[in-house]
Structure 1
Amino acid sequence: MIAIFSDTHRSRGHGLEGEALTAAREADVVIHAGDFTSATALEAFQDECEVLYAVHGNADSAAVRDRLPTARVVEAGGVRFAVTHRRDGGEMGRVMFGRSRDADVVVSGHSHRPTVVETEDCLLVNPGSHADPRGNRPGFAVLEEAVDGEHTTGETRLAGELRQPDGTLVESFEVTGTATADQTE
């Protein structure tokens, strides 16, 4: 399982609860699109995850920015994820960011609004904020190998869900990837 989070916005602790906490603990890979806010929150998140790939956001302290990149690429579950907190240019800016990294999925945060947008080039996923939704639904995302798994062309299909921390389903989606090995940049 791959779990995706963003916008923790904590001075202490990780703000994870319910199904969000379970997903962070049980995921093979956790991706976080930034704005932990404090090094204490980042460390609390790291303590819950077996493998965490994160970027820093605009609200992160200097201590967090020193430890995390602005953007990164993660290959997990046969899918290539390009991760950033925010990208100028709105949806098209995120598409261009993904295209330049040959990504199947662009993971971003910043808006605190859980959304999935399918484009011609890649899938745009914003998990929202599990801890500080700012008037939006609280959210996070999970992806697991689809029931039919591998396609004959070597592509892998993952079934994804945007969920609220209590496990309530917000939206289902699918992504097809062609990555061959789990790695990061």
Structure 2
Amino acid sequence: MVRVGLISDTHGLLRPAAVDFLRGCERIVHAGDIGHAALLEALAEVAPVTAVRGNNDRDAALADLPGTAVLQVGEVRMYVLHDLKQLAIDPVAEGFHVVLSGHSHRPLVEERAGVLYVNPGSAGRRRFSLPIAVGELVIEGREVMPRIVELDG
């Protein structure tokens, strides 16, 4: 069993509660709008990080981050991007099991045509009345068990 931590839309704010939740993960995925490279360095002290650049990641230190990433965890193939509306591939045809995104600040766990779509929501500053949240994928073989956890604001 492998635990993958999910975080997005931190916008430069790494909450201690988010770090506590991510402890024990074998990998962390940040789905963009990171804010500062130091935030990725802090996450990397917890577990290896896969990160994509978000529409607000204009800092020169984040300029080299890719817009998308492919991640293989055991038998599970994942596609990571910031804004799901920018999805330019057919995940089914490309053999992806999971699509991870951020941007909307709205947590989402939804299956479409056999592909699991997960957005952990925003772990940064509260936006409107949306929750502050992080997530995880627990992967065993080809089974993926997603979970979104709201953090205290």
Bin for the TM-score computed over the shorter chain: 0.7 to 0.9
Q: What SS is found at the alignment partner of 1:80? A: strand
Question: Where does 1:49-88 land on structure 2 (aligned, <5 Å)?
Answer: 49-88=46-85
Alignment match, 2:92:
99
Structure 1: tracts of 5 or more residues without a match? 151-155, 167-185
d(CA) in 1 for partners of 2:40 and 2:19? 14
> 1:39·1:63 contact (CA, 8 Å) conserved in 2?
no
Task: Summarize the Cα distance change of 1:37–1:79 in structure 2 as closer, same or farther, 3 Å threshold.
Answer: same
> 1:39·1:61 contact (CA, 8 Å) conserved in 2?
no
Task: Check if 1:5 corresponds to 2:7.
Answer: yes
Q: What SS is found at the alignment partner of 1:37? A: coil
**Which protein shows a greater Rg?**
1
Alignment match, 1:142:
136
Alignment coverage as a number of residue pairs: 149
d(CA) in 1 for partners of 2:28 and 2:72? 12
Alignment match, 2:14:
15
Task: Check if 1:116 corresponds to 2:135.
Answer: no
Structure 1, residues 38-94: CA drift from partner, whole Å, max 9, x if none?
Answer: 2233333333x32101101000024243231110100114311100001436xxx47
Question: Where does 1:105-184 land on structure 2 (aligned, <5 Å)?
Answer: 105-135=98-128, 136-145=130-139, 149-150=140-141, 156-166=142-152
Q: Which amino acid aligns with 1:165?
A: L
Structure 1, residues 86-122: CA drift from partner, whole Å, max 9, x if none?
Answer: 1436xxx47x453354211100110111111210141
Q: Which amino acid aligns with 2:135?
A: A
Q: Which amino acid aligns with 1:26?
A: G
Please report the RMSD computed on the Cα atoms of aligned residues, expressed in angstroms: 2.1
d(CA) in 1 for partners of 2:35 and 2:92? 28
d(CA) in 2 for partners of 1:84 and 1:60? 13
State, as a whole percentage, how many aligned pairs show the same letter.
32
Q: Which amino acid aligns with 1:131?
A: G
> 1:55·1:83 contact (CA, 8 Å) conserved in 2?
yes
Compare relative contact order (CA 8 Å, sep 6+) and give the higher one, 1 or 2: 2
Alignment match, 1:27:
25
Q: Which amino acid aligns with 2:101?
A: S
Structure 1, residues 112-159: CA drift from partner, whole Å, max 9, x if none?
Answer: 1111121014111110011223121111111224xxx54xxxxx2122
Structure 2: tracts of 5 or more residues without a match? none
TM-score (norm 2): 0.84
TM-score (norm 1): 0.71
